[in-house]
Amino acid sequence: MNATRPGELFARLQQSIPDPGTELRYRSRFQLLIAVILSAQATDLSVNRATRPLFRAAGTPKAIHDLGVTGLKKYIRAIGLYNTKAENIIKTCAILLKDHSGRVPRERSALEALPGVGRKTANVVLNTAFGEPTIAVDTHIFRVANRTGLAKGRTVLQVEQGLLRATPKPYLKSAHHLLILHGRYTCRARNPLCAECPIADLCEFPGKTT
């Protein structure tokens, strides 16, 4: 991609998505962490359906820990991999209570030490909860980065590193949500809406229709 294009690309995305942010519903950093853990291989809509009653009944590390694995499963049964996620969340709550006074740590190493938290989840929490300039590469961002030529790569880590290099500094904090929302609603995996895309002329996608 031409060196001048990333700035124009992000400026247009910002104009088309003026208030980028996560579609997960939460009221604390802890609730965001739990929602992101649950969102692996699940839609934000399905997670929100589960966490609405869950957080109403148990919205803190101690309250969820007190539910136990069996009690937690009753709330998240409709979410994929709920058995493993329930076990990881209960273990995570125990660690937060024991080692972090019930607070979500800001350090990447401490986040990734939590059960069920990998690099992508840590990046989401660091960016959304703490405003860090991180980019969590999911399937949508991976697709947009490669299609546009913004950051081509065969692995998630390659794309993440490429995006961090290519993204102009003013957009580093919002890039994650701009790219994911663009990928979710416009640059879709099937039948991308190229005719409605605000960055179509900047895109290298060979299958685009404009």
Q: Which residues are catalytic?
A: 120, 138
Residue 209's φ and ψ, nearest 5 degrees, are -100, 10
Other residues' Cβ atoms within 10 Å of the Cβ of residue 108: 16
Tokens of 199: 């960055």
The residue behind tokens 């991976």 is 142
CA–CA distance, 151 with 6 (Å, rounded to integer): 10
CA–CA distance, 94 with 79 (Å, rounded to integer): 22
Residue 52's φ and ψ, nearest 5 degrees, are -55, -55
Other residues' Cβ atoms within 10 Å of the Cβ of residue 19: 8
CA–CA distance, 11 with 2 (Å, rounded to integer): 15
| Degrees to nearest 5, angle at CA 131 with 45 and 89 | 50
CA–CA distance, 183 with 78 (Å, rounded to integer): 25
CA–CA distance, 121 with 127 (Å, rounded to integer): 10
